[in-house]
Structure 1
Amino acid sequence: MITPALTAACPKRTSPRTESAALDEATTAWALAARAGDPDAVEHFVRALHRDVLRYVAHLCADPQAVDDLAQETFLRALGSLHRFEGRCSARAWLLSIARRAVIDGYRRASARPRLADRPDWQLAAEHAQPRDLPGFDDGIVLLDLLAALPDERRQAFVLTQLLGLPYAEAAALSGCPEGTVRSRVARARATLAGELELA
């Protein structure tokens, strides 16, 4: 059963970094409780991280139609291997590393067996695949275009730290590189994005 202490771990409104740390603490506690067999903890864990997984997969995946399937596959893999989660890192970092592997496996499957689009109206499908929490549709298109122009490593570092709010150390662990490299990639991504916005 979810205790009030676990539910209270998510603050009402503080700085993004404090909020992110509190979310990490709460989701890790939920993952450990779910591992012990608490069905309420499973629900809290999935709900708390579903949006982060969708956003992360959307930025890694070139196929907008596959985002929901890959996010679902991420949670299926995570729940299937929850018994191995020991809380050595945050549950969010652990889950995003599973999401990354799910996307990579998705690329491998797609390259082995190409799929045709099942929708005749590709423009409508693209509009429906846009994130809904951005200030506006046009702003979302601009942001996605700017992020797509970044090199893969810089985009991944920027998305993990600036959009998903992961600490640099966890982003480094997910990316398989030193923390200083992640900081450098984020700084370069910011400079590139700022330059592009000035030209626009």
Structure 2
Amino acid sequence: MRDDEAVTGWALAARGGDERAVEQFVRATQLDVRRYVTHLSGDPQATDDLVQDTYVRALRSLPRFEGRSSARTWLLTIARRVVVDRIRSHAVRPRLAATDDWQSAAERVQPRGVPGFDEGVALADLLTALAPERREAFVLTQLLGLPYAAAAGVMGCPVGTVRSRVARAREALVALLTDAERAEPGDRSRALAGAVA
């Protein structure tokens, strides 16, 4: 759902204890939060935990939500803090993998044959090639459909900076796609990898 007024209305009603409004608020925002934390964190395996942490923090803070911004913008700001906190905590406490060949293990558990799967993988690969701040601006505005002003509020920077980052992200994505299309079919993955390096 993209209707920010309805989402904000549900958040305000939920603030007053309306359990149905809480349910509607979560349903209306869950996909956006999931997409955002997945792309922002770069760790699809942590997505469920990040989404859950976001809603735990949001629901605890809901009594203080005053509706000065849209509830979706408020929630994505919380999601951003959750991801930043996770990155910081993992930076000081590295995790050990149970296998030496982590890439093969990850590939074995990925679903195959799902419609749109290949395109989703290609988009994820392309997005990881972007600088983090450009990727965040692109995901917020182009994938989640947030207005530039709202994305600026989430990211804590001026609107012009968001516009610039999105424009540069688009340029980089077009260049990556052009390079990949020019490459021979077997060389496409190397072309993408070369563009990232």
- State the TM-score bracket (shorter-chain normalisation): 0.7 to 0.9
Q: Select the residue among 50, 56, 73 that pairs with 2:53.
A: 73
User: What SS is found at the alignment partner of 2:146?
Assistant: coil
Distance 1:148 1:108 in 2: 19
Distance 2:164 2:88 in 1: 30
**Where does residue 17 of structure 1 map in the other structure?**
none
**Where does residue 142 of structure 1 map in the other structure?**
122
Q: Does 1:60 align with 2:40?
A: yes
Greater Cα shift, 184-193 or 162-171: 184-193
C-alpha displacement of 1:66:
1.0
**Where does residue 83 of structure 1 map in the other structure?**
63
- Count of residue pairs the alignment pairs up: 175
C-alpha displacement of 1:176:
1.4
What are the equivalent positions in structure 2 for 1:91-170 lying under 5 Å apart? Answer: 91-117=71-97, 121-125=105-109, 127=110, 136-170=116-150
**Where does residue 175 of structure 1 map in the other structure?**
155
Structure showing greater Rg:
2
Q: Select the residue among 158, 172, 177 that pairs with 1:192.
A: 172
The share of aligned pairs that are identical, in percent, is 62
C-alpha displacement of 1:122:
2.2
Answer whether contact 2:134 2:165 (CA < 8 A) is retained: yes
Distance 1:31 1:117 in 2: 39
Distance 1:139 1:48 in 2: 25
User: What SS is found at the alignment partner of 2:36?
Assistant: helix
Distance 2:42 2:135 in 1: 13
C-alpha displacement of 1:152:
1.2
User: What SS is found at the alignment partner of 2:67?
Assistant: coil
User: What are structure 2's unaligned runs of at least 5 residues?
Assistant: 181-197
C-alpha displacement of 1:36:
0.7
User: What are structure 1's unaligned runs of at least 5 residues?
Assistant: 1-9, 11-19
**Where does residue 29 of structure 1 map in the other structure?**
9
**Where does residue 184 of structure 2 map in the other structure?**
none
C-alpha displacement of 1:110:
1.5
Distance 1:196 1:110 in 2: 30
Distance 1:188 1:111 in 2: 28
C-alpha displacement of 1:124:
3.0
